[in-house]
Amino acid sequence: MEVYTSKSPNGGLWEAGVKSFKHHLERVIGNAHLTLEEFLTIILEIESVLNSRPLTPLSTKFDNFETLSPGHFLIGRPLTSIVEPDLLNISENRLSKWKKLRNIVNKFGGCGKKII
């Protein structure tokens, strides 16, 4: 097992990423009781937001707002949120769980934009 310290050149970035992820996960979930599927969905949403942070502009032109993000290195383009499902044919029980999950994810989106 390797130990990364915050004073090492690359370990500091790694630790900062882990700290950021844990901080947002704790703020979003709080004391909520989630199923494994709900928990994994929230983790993927947080991962998507953290990997969509801009690193540098792709162009020097002022009117081009496209930026390079960690998502470009992972999949070759910016990461996007999970596609919203069609809610017309979902039972009420499943729909209420989905609404609960969306509220948690939206809570993260609101606080994450200020912090990230």
Boundaries of every domain in the chain: 11-107
Which residues, in sequence order, are CB contacts of 86 under 8 Å at separation 6+?
A: none
For residue 67, the cross-strand partners are 57
In the block, which residue shows the tokens 């993000």? 69
Closest CA to 41 of 114, 116, 91, 99: 99
Which pLDDT band, with edges at 50, 70 and 90, does 112 fall under?
Answer: very low
Phi and psi at 31, nearest 5°, equal: -105, 15
pLDDT in tens, 66-101: 778 888 787 777 776 445 566 556 666 666 777 777
pLDDT in tens, 7-47: 666 666 777 888 888 888 888 888 888 899 989 988 888 88
Which secondary-structure segment (H or E) carries 38? helix 36-50
> What pLDDT does 80 receive?
62
What is the rounded radius of gyration, in angstroms, for the C-alpha atoms of the chain?
17
